[in-house]
Chain A
Amino acid sequence: MKKLTLLTAGIAVCSASMAFANDDLMTQMDNSAQWAIQTGDYKNQRYSELTEINAENVGDLQVAWTFSTGVLRGHEGSPLVIGDMMYVHTPFPNIVYALNLADEGKIVWKYEPKQDPDVIPVMCCDTVNRGVAYANGKIFLHQADTKVVALDANTGDVVWEVQNGDAAIGETNTATVLPVKDKIIVGISGGEFGVRGSVTAYNMETGEQEWRAYSMGPDSDILVDPVNTTHLGQPVGENSGTNTWEGDQWMIGGGTTWGWYSADMDENLFYYGTGNPSTWNPAQRPGDNRWSMTIMARDIDTGVAKWFYQMTPHDEWDFDGINEMILSEQTIDGQERKLLTHFDRNGLGYTMDRVTGELLVAEKFDPAVNWTTGVDMDPASDTYGRPAVVAQYSTEQNGEDVNSTGICPAALGSKDQQPAAYSPKTELMYVPTNHVCMDYEPFRVSYTAGQPYVGATLAMYPAPDSHGGMGNFIAWDNTTGEIKWSLPEQFSVWSGALATAGDVVFYGTLEGYLKAVHAETGEELYKFKTPSGIIGNVMTYEQGGKQYIGILSGVGGWAGIGLAAGLTNPNDGLGAVGGYAALSDYTALGGQLTVFALPN
């Protein structure tokens, strides 16, 4: 009997520690002195309650200290701060540093994984990594080669590791992971290599795989309930992940999952978006290509989908749907609702009821967007929820080997992964955007495993008849779908924003500026030029009773590739060639953390 009691006690302890795993991170996130998750919190609001640095005094900001990461590549994501420790990650080779903030940033441990450099060229668009995650005394690193590693947060020792994908067929990783409940939920990259996207849950303590949900394929692969999983309120039905594809194209169908993840613990749901269908040549994949380009709400425990919403059926422009899903509680049309707001690559800002998947708002967040006249919002209509495609800008209708010109936005979208922030105080979304258009010529390609599978020629240029720049930083009202203010930027804004209770919003620019603007008016309050272009996300924390602002510099990513030499508009004729700003005239490769504070 004694033995049995012990066994029962053991089970009780185990389940207690599983529950603790989630509670621990939730407690850490609630402490505004810390930055415990890349997205600020499970809601992806990127909002801090700290007010020591505010609209009145942010103009006095100074550099407090700096740290070189030792890597010269695109630095996305941000450091984490838990207790006295700061965790800084780098692009490939994905080094992790633990710095003791109570001891002048001394390096407590450094972890450098050994990865085959052959993964580098299969990472479309630079070897970026959007940062580590923390939960239950462990740091989670998802490497470029898709190995997921759990490290002891105090020592850097490996607790477990698991291989999520295969770089030899183009499966790579750039994203952070979502630690939630007793799981680590991870995505995958490789849409330009014909990878079939999936999300996978691993046990937080052991690394054991618990479930995997593909973006397309048979129902058993995509984890749907044909009756209870809905699309705009209707059951998705059987075979929804194969019956809008021709033949076996879904097997190399893309819909990768390299963006940000949010979670609603009360609903037990997590949210993310899927990427472009493969290839970029729409003629090679007739049909809606479900469930690429889709907002997904799935059960945390089982992975089974509650609802989907496909934003861009049958993509013709590479408008990946992976951007973050920002959760908020707001009043819309006089009704308090649990909302999900998403700024898509396709240039539309969507506001949805995140419990039911009902579409509430779909409006352009850049006036330049021209490929669609808007989304059909009539639930009674046959085309409910579909964007109306303008024939002139349809690369499908214009056909293979035809150059469709003047499409806005460009393939990199009106906004890419660079996450927006939400202030519950102002009830505004602060959105880093691209203001770039393109010519797009699709043509036939053949698939070879592990080789690029693109099938289109692109030329990109600043939005015509506008301010000439390639970006805007905007404030957006997600309940009405209106731009409140818009700040023109010379280059695409490729940095994640931070909003604070001090009425300040921070973001970085590709030239390397950290900027602070007023949350109500957008008035510029401060700027400082860091050593390299910024594609990282602004974070804040408190140490020793003092508030700090941190940002990674290190130009790269899609922006560094596309904008380094400056853009040209082939339609402007020869005279205008080279007329646009080249990023290489403003900044060079780097890898540095810059931390700001008010003077003592």
Chain B
Amino acid sequence: MKTMGRLLALCLAAGLSQTASAQDIDNLTAAYTEDGKYFTEDDVPTYNVQEDGTIDWPTYSGFRRYHSECHVCHGPEGEGSSYAPALKTSAIDMDYYDFVDVVVNGRKRVGSAENSVMPAFGDNPNVMCYLDDIYVYLKARGADVVPRGRPAKKEPKHEVIRETENDCLGT
């Protein structure tokens, strides 16, 4: 629940301070790491790929959670489908806070030519507890630094990540 609360706070903040567009700033490069997670200069979660291809745990976790919660509509590996858009592109094009907002609150595009509805996942712990993971995985896919398929090498799961996960899922 701690994480859910934090995410909610982030969403509220997003509504108040809409700043520079995603293209103007480096939204990809990791500037620092904390407890097994990586962040940009602007404190936005991001991926980290080492020279030998080892990826950070959250990106690996995002691969798993994406293929549980998202791929039945958005297709494998964020590639998009006949049903829903390619999220690997969305994760690059959209601001982190906008991305979170759409996942939490959903979005509807319904008209004569389009019947596209993203559901609100705000009360789904299987998504919300892993939202940053899914986000960094899709960003890594969009930046083409993680290939399609199952990531081969990953960092171990940090103890803090494990604790946070258990808190969030309530297990």
Contact A570 to B150, CB < 8 A, known contacts A451-B124, A452-B69, A457-B63: yes
Minimum CB distance partner of B151 in chain A: A570
> Does A455 have its Cβ within 8 Å of any Cβ on chain B?
yes
Segment from B13-21, B22-30, B38-46, B80-88 that makes contact with A? B80-88
Most buried by B among A122, A126, A583: A126
Bitwise interface map of B from 99 to 127 toward A, beta carbon under 8 Å scored 1, else 0: 00000001010100101111101011111
Closest Cβ–Cβ distance, residue B45 to chain A (whole Å): 20
Bitwise interface map of A from 436 to 468 toward B, beta carbon under 8 Å scored 1, else 0: 000101011110100110111111100000000
Closest Cβ–Cβ distance, residue B114 to chain A (whole Å): 8
Q: How many residues belonging to B are interface residues under a CB distance threshold of 8 Å?
A: 42
Contact B82 A74 (CB under 8 A): yes
Closest Cβ–Cβ distance, residue A589 to chain B (whole Å): 6
In the bound complex, CA of A455 to CA of B68 (Å): 6
Contact B117 A564 (CB under 8 A): no
Q: B74 — which chain A residues lie within 8 A by C-beta?
A: 561
Most buried by A among B69, B72, B77, B127: B72
In the bound complex, CA of A367 to CA of B115 (Å): 40
Q: B154 — which chain A residues lie within 8 A by C-beta?
A: none
Bitwise interface map of B from 50 to 87 toward A, beta carbon under 8 Å scored 1, else 0: 00000000000001110111011111110111111010
> Does B153 have its Cβ within 8 Å of any Cβ on chain A?
no
Contact A457 B64 (CB under 8 A): yes
Contact B82 A126 (CB under 8 A): yes
Interface hits, B141-160 → A, CB 8 Å: 147-150
Contact B123 A564 (CB under 8 A): no
Contact A448 to B82, CB < 8 A, known contacts A72-B113, A456-B68, A570-B150: no
Contact B148 A448 (CB under 8 A): no
> Does B169 have its Cβ within 8 Å of any Cβ on chain A?
yes
Q: Which of B77, B169, B170 contacts A565 (CB under 8 A)?
A: B77
Q: A443 — which chain B residues lie within 8 A by C-beta?
A: 64, 68
Segment from A113-121, A249-257, A343-351, A420-428 that makes contact with B? A113-121
Q: B80 — which chain A residues lie within 8 A by C-beta?
A: 564-565
Contact A121 B124 (CB under 8 A): no
Closest Cβ–Cβ distance, residue B117 to chain A (whole Å): 4
Minimum CB distance partner of B112 in chain A: A70
Contact A118 B119 (CB under 8 A): yes
Interface hits, A111-144 → B, CB 8 Å: 117-118, 120-122, 124-127
Contact B119 A122 (CB under 8 A): yes
Q: B63 — which chain A residues lie within 8 A by C-beta?
A: 457
> Does A10 have its Cβ within 8 Å of any Cβ on chain B?
no
Bitwise interface map of A from 455 to 485 toward B, beta carbon under 8 Å scored 1, else 0: 1111110000000000000000000000000
In the bound complex, CA of A41 to CA of B100 (Å): 50
Contact A577 B149 (CB under 8 A): yes
Contact A578 to B126, CB < 8 A, known contacts A118-B117, A120-B117, A567-B76: no
Contact B149 A126 (CB under 8 A): no
Minimum CB distance partner of B149 in chain A: A570
In the bound complex, CA of A555 to CA of B126 (Å): 30
Bitwise interface map of A from 576 to 596 toward B, beta carbon under 8 Å scored 1, else 0: 011000011000010000000
> Does A414 have its Cβ within 8 Å of any Cβ on chain B?
no
In the bound complex, CA of A561 to CA of B47 (Å): 26
> Does A403 have its Cβ within 8 Å of any Cβ on chain B?
yes
Contact A568 B77 (CB under 8 A): yes
Closest Cβ–Cβ distance, residue A462 to chain B (whole Å): 14
Q: A241 — which chain B residues lie within 8 A by C-beta?
A: none
Minimum CB distance partner of A281 in chain B: B68
Contact A121 B119 (CB under 8 A): yes
Contact A568 B82 (CB under 8 A): no
Q: A127 — which chain B residues lie within 8 A by C-beta?
A: 115
> Does A59 have its Cβ within 8 Å of any Cβ on chain B?
no
Contact A445 to B115, CB < 8 A, known contacts A457-B63, A555-B82, A569-B149: no
Contact A445 B108 (CB under 8 A): no
Minimum CB distance partner of A565 in chain B: B79
In the bound complex, CA of A589 to CA of B85 (Å): 13
Contact B64 A460 (CB under 8 A): no
In the bound complex, CA of A432 to CA of B148 (Å): 29
Closest Cβ–Cβ distance, residue B115 to chain A (whole Å): 6
Contact A121 B118 (CB under 8 A): yes
Contact A568 B149 (CB under 8 A): yes
Q: A456 — which chain B residues lie within 8 A by C-beta?
A: 68
Closest Cβ–Cβ distance, residue B38 to chain A (whole Å): 22
Q: A303 — which chain B residues lie within 8 A by C-beta?
A: none
In the bound complex, CA of A444 to CA of B68 (Å): 11
In the bound complex, CA of A589 to CA of B149 (Å): 26
In the bound complex, CA of A456 to CA of B64 (Å): 8
Interface hits, A391-423 → B, CB 8 Å: 403
In the bound complex, CA of A441 to CA of B71 (Å): 14
Contact B72 A448 (CB under 8 A): no
> Does A556 have its Cβ within 8 Å of any Cβ on chain B?
yes
Minimum CB distance partner of B84 in chain A: A561
Contact B83 A561 (CB under 8 A): yes
Q: Which of A92, A121, A446, A565 contacts B76 (CB under 8 A)?
A: A565
In the bound complex, CA of A125 to CA of B74 (Å): 9
Closest Cβ–Cβ distance, residue A75 to chain B (whole Å): 11
Q: A124 — which chain B residues lie within 8 A by C-beta?
A: 72-73
Minimum CB distance partner of A405 in chain B: B150
> Does A227 have its Cβ within 8 Å of any Cβ on chain B?
no
Closest Cβ–Cβ distance, residue B167 to chain A (whole Å): 13
In the bound complex, CA of A556 to CA of B64 (Å): 24
> Does A93 have its Cβ within 8 Å of any Cβ on chain B?
yes
In the bound complex, CA of A439 to CA of B65 (Å): 15
Contact A560 B117 (CB under 8 A): no
Question: Which residues of A are in contact with B by a Cβ distance under 8 Å?
Answer: 71-74, 92-93, 117-118, 120-122, 124-127, 192, 403, 439, 441, 443-446, 448, 451-452, 454-460, 555-556, 560-562, 564-570, 574, 577-578, 583-584, 589
Q: Which A-B residue pairs are the 10 nearest by beta carbons?
A: A560-B82, A565-B79, A570-B149, A121-B119, A561-B81, A570-B150, A457-B67, A120-B117, A451-B124, A564-B81
A74-B82, A192-B72 are known contacts; what are 15 more A-B pairs with Cβ within 8 Å?
A72-B113, A74-B83, A121-B117, A124-B72, A126-B83, A445-B68, A446-B169, A451-B121, A451-B124, A454-B68, A455-B126, A555-B82, A561-B71, A565-B81, A577-B147
Can you give 21 A-B contacts (C-beta < 8 A)? A118-B117, A118-B119, A441-B64, A446-B171, A451-B121, A454-B68, A457-B65, A560-B81, A560-B82, A560-B83, A561-B71, A561-B74, A562-B75, A562-B81, A564-B79, A564-B81, A565-B76, A565-B86, A568-B77, A574-B147, A583-B82
